[in-house]
Amino acid sequence: MFPSVCSSKPEVVTVDVSQAKTLLQSDYQYLDVRTEEEFRRGHCLTPKILNVPYMLNSPQGRVKNQDFLDQVSSLLNPTDDILVGCQSGARSLNATAELLAAGFKKVRNVGGGYLAWVDHNFPIIKDKEQQQSTN
């Protein structure tokens, strides 16, 4: 009779990249869940960014990172404001749902991910460029 009371699964909130950019200018942390290789090729330019892959490359293809929750929990608190992004929005949707189920309270998915960020011409950084400028 009371389905909203009985549902224990938190609902994922998705924000578009324009909202995400605004939130990142406040106190939000950006959690990029792409592979390390994807992250190095380019990521959002924001002061509070972490890379914890949700999927890992293996000889058999991509497999789920079994340590994902432990790794995120060691870096972020369940009460932190967190935006979760990936390449296009699929992995981050799953990662956001998993974080909410694990007790993270203020987690939002970034719809469209890195590709949408680039499409909006928002600032990015590529690690190769960064390394060349420091040498």
Longest dimension (CA), the chain: 65
Q: Is 86 a catalytic residue?
A: yes
Residue 35 token pair: 């592979």
H, E, C per residue of the chain = CCHHHHCCCCCCEEECHHHHHHHHCCCCEEEECCCHHHHHHCEECCCCEEECCCEEEECCEEEECCCHHHHHHHHCCCCCEEEEECCCCHHHHHHHHHHHHCCCCEEEEECCHHHHHHHCCCCEECHHHHHHHHC
Catalytic residue among 17, 86, 95, 99: 86
Active site residues: 86
